[in-house]
């Protein structure tokens, strides 16, 4: 439904705060006249229920009125436990970081085996239910108008105001000192980032409800933790949340760039990646030095809250903090490097521009600073270069590069098999079927011992691919049709789907299946788009020939 997203304030935020405020005023008045409030009295429980339900009620009402969600939809989302495993792993990671000081210190205070479960169930009822309002409704609306961090801060401010009112309702405000409230707000600020990134990545209300309840459960079972330890844990959670958002939101689009501009872009991209990595490592070292200095200052001047070295458990926490930063730096480097190479490959696989990839690769190869001058021996980049050369029929360049790669990968059978596939494809392009068959024999010899895992899948794909090309060249269309159909299953990159659909269309045409052939050529032409190289031109011509007949 289309609506002005400013209505979130009048339909959710203001009513939620006003309801909580009215109940809070009643609770304060009752407390002033010595009426017992809180969880131990019937009237206290009634006030807690009415005040605590405000965000859930107005959040559900907003979803019903403006997002066409039924009560059944909301309840289903609330208890939809089946979610991808990766999100549960992410939640565990956040919880470990958030409670690192407790885990490395005295541990959780568990009085009985049933205690954590009972607290968790209570936390869902008195805490997790809030997520219907805050993460399920309010923050997504904020993100329609503001960036992620700004939206999270706005949610934090609103959530903080609501919590202060809630503390007046349940009576806990009378037992908190100013420092208690400050550290509670720091925790709340951290939770805003944890819960918002979980919802933004998963879209799951249940995961937010569960995480909220687990955080509340852990907090109730935690002993005293030094403030500096708590602040460090919070800082790491916030950093991790922001990193996840910025990394996933970062998109690379080089389609409008020429080869020179594309090469320059990726050189700068790689340099920035290295700088980020070394800055993160430097931050870990500086943090370690600062914590040691602070600990010595706290030890000799007796400043409360920062003595880390004087306590083995806290010192272990400090070391874990440093190790975590280093671990995060390494993981981020691997993730960013993988993403970097995938973005380079998109020039061929998604942009369908083998000419630009070849020119870009040759410029990167000439740059002695990029990959320390080893671009020419880098398997991933060079593999796509060979494929690009074959697409534009630069067979000499492809064969020269294959010789370099063979020398570099002598013991890696699956890679050697891939090189034989490329040489076989070149032989097909040069109408040398006998040579292509010899390449296929070499492939079978190389992959015969690879019988499990991803290597088996890749080797099978290589064998099917070259066998299909040979069958098509020998006009064994039935066999070619079967093999190309198999190879097309699960294929994701645009240029491969274009090529395979075209080959499958040729096989079907040879079998006299004109309607099916036309559909294959139509699909291949769709993938070809406005790509400009020989195979793409053939694809469009084949489709136009059938289109003209209609």
Distances (CA, A) of 6 to 11, 61, 64, 153, 263: 9, 16, 17, 17, 44
Distance CA 76, CA 183 (A): 34
Q: Which two tokens stand for residue 470?
A: 């040979």
Q: Which two tokens stand for residue 536?
A: 């793409």
Distance CA 47, CA 20 (A): 9
For 53, list phi and psi in degrees, rounded to 5.
Answer: -85, -5
3-state secondary structure 317-350: HHHHHHHHHHHHHHHHHHHHHHHHHHHHHHHHHC
**pLDDT reported for residue 313:** 59
Residue 351's CB: how many other CB atoms inside 10 A?
21
Question: In angstroms, how far is the first alpha carbon of the chain from the final one?
Answer: 41
Q: How confident is the model at residue 490 (pLDDT cuts 50, 70, 90)?
A: confident
Distance CA 149, CA 153 (A): 6
Distance CA 432, CA 435 (A): 6
User: What average pLDDT does the segment 366-383 reach?
Assistant: 85
Helix ranges (H only) for 250-306 are 259-301
User: What average pLDDT does the segment 205-231 reach?
Assistant: 89
Q: Which two tokens stand for residue 180?
A: 């208690």
Crossing angle of helices 205-220 and 71-78, rounded to 10°: 50
Q: Which residue has the higher pLDDT, 322 or 493?
A: 493
Residue 326's CB: how many other CB atoms inside 10 A?
16
* 291-344 tens-digit pLDDT: 667 666 555 444 444 445 455 556 667 677 777 777 777 887 888 888 888 889
* 142-160 tens-digit pLDDT: 999 999 999 999 999 999 9
Distance CA 21, CA 29 (A): 12
Surface-to-core class of residue 338, CB atoms within 10 Å of its CB (0-12 exposed, 13-18 middle, 19+ buried): exposed
Q: Which two tokens stand for residue 312?
A: 């083995």
- Residues 481, 508 contacting (CB under 8 angstroms): yes
- Residues 234, 126 contacting (CB under 8 angstroms): no
In this predicted structure, the answer to whether residue 203 has a pLDDT above a threshold of 70 is yes
Distance CA 301, CA 488 (A): 71
* 395-405 tens-digit pLDDT: 999 999 999 99
User: What average pLDDT does the segment 486-511 reach?
Assistant: 93
What mean pLDDT, rounded, does the chain reach?
88
């Amino acid at each position: 439904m289309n609506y002005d997203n400013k209505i979130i304030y009048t339909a959710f935020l203001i009513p939620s705060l006003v309801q909580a405020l009215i109940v809070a005023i009643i609770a304060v008045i009752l407390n002033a006249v010595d009426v017992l409030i809180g969880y131990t009295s019937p009237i206290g429980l009634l006030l807690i229920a009415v005040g605590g339900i405000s965000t859930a009620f107005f959040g559900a009402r907003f979803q019903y009125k403006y997002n066409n969600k039924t009560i059944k939809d909301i309840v289903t989302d609330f208890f939809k436990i089946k979610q991808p495993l990766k999100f549960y792993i992410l939640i565990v990671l956040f919880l470990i970081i958030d409670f690192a000081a407790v885990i490395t210190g005295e541990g959780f205070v568990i009085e009985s085996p049933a205690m954590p479960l009972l607290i968790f169930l209570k936390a869902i009822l008195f805490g997790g239910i809030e997520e219907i309002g805050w993460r399920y409704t309010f923050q997504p609306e904020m993100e329609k108008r503001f960036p992620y961090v700004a939206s999270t801060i706005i949610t934090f401010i609103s959530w903080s105001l609501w919590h202060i009112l809630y503390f007046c309702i349940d009576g806990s405000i009378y037992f908190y000192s100013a420092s208690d409230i400050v550290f509670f707000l720091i925790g709340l600020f951290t939770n805003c980032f944890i819960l918002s990134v979980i919802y933004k990545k998963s879209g799951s209300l249940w995961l937010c409800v569960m995480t909220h309840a687990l955080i509340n459960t852990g907090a109730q079972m935690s002993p005293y933790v030094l403030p500096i330890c708590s602040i460090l844990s919070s800082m790491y959670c916030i950093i991790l949340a922001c990193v996840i958002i910025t990394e996933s939101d970062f998109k690379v689009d080089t389609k409008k760039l020429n080869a020179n501009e594309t090469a320059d872009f990726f050189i700068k991209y790689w340099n920035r990646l290295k700088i980020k990595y070394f800055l993160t490592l430097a931050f870990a070292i500086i943090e370690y030095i600062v914590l040691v200095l602070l600990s010595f200052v706290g030890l000799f001047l007796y400043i409360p809250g920062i003595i880390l070295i004087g306590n083995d458990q806290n010192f272990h926490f400090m070391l874990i903090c440093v190790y975590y930063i280093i671990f995060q730096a390494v993981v981020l480097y691997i993730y960013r490097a993988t993403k970097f190479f995938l973005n380079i490959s998109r020039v061929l696989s998604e942009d369908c521009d083998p000419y630009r990839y070849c020119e870009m690769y040759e410029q990167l190869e000439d740059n002695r600073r990029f990959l320390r001058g080893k671009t020419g021996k880098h398997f991933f980049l060079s593999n796509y270069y060979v494929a690009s050369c074959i697409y534009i029929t630069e067979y000499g360049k492809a064969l020269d590069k294959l010789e370099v790669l063979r020398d570099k990968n002598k013991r890696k059978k699956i890679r050697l098999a891939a090189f034989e596939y490329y040489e076989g494809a070149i032989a097909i392009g040069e109408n040398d079927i006998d040579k292509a068959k010899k390449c296929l024999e070499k492939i079978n010899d190389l992959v015969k011992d690879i019988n499990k895992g991803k290597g088996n899948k890749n080797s099978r794909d290589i064998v099917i691919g070259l066998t299909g090309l040979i069958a098509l060249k020998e006009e064994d269309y039935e066999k070619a049709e079967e093999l190309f159909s198999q190879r097309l299953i699960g294929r994701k990159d645009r240029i491969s789907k274009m090529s395979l659909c075209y080959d499958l269309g040729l096989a079907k045409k040879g079998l006299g299946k004109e309607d099916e052939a036309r559909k294959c050529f139509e699909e291949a032409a769709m993938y070809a788009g406005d790509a400009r190289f020989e195979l793409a031109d053939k694809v469009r011509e084949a489709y136009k020939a059938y289109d003209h007949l209609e």
